[in-house]
Amino acid sequence: MKSLSVRQSVETLSACVSGKVQGVGFRAATVRQAHLLKLGGWVRNLPDGRVQVLLQGDHDAVDRMLSWLLRGPPMASVTGVTHEEVSTQRLFDRFEQL
């Protein structure tokens, strides 16, 4: 029963970050920030120049990560972040760069 309540408290979001976000250390910085917030998931470059991020963790940590994505690391210039909740049975035990 306890694992069910843990699963229900986990939030999973997919986000796409636009702007100058490739070639500026965005993915590596995202991994570091996600580790600090104890999030699971991944980050990857998209062919169109955006960065896609899958975030999984408690609501507060996911919300803090979304706020960080709006700024990004110092060399990045974020112009927009879109996100949507994702329904998944998979639980990510770490955050990695794909």
> What is the tens place of the pLDDT at every residue in 8-65?
588 999 999 999 999 999 999 999 999 999 999 999 999 999 999 999 999 999 999 9
The set of catalytic residues is: 27, 45
Specify if 12 maps to a domain: yes
pLDDT at 1: 35
Specify if 16 maps to a domain: yes
> 14: domain range?
2-88
> What is the tens place of the pLDDT at every residue in 74-85?
999 999 999 999
pLDDT at 8: 55
Specify if 98 maps to a domain: no
Q: What is the pTM of this model?
A: 0.88
Residue with tokens 């999030």: 39
80 contacts 49 by C-beta, under 8 angstroms: no
- 43 vs 90: which has the higher pLDDT: 43
What domain count does the chain have? 1
Q: CATH number of the domain at 70, please.
A: 3.30.70.100
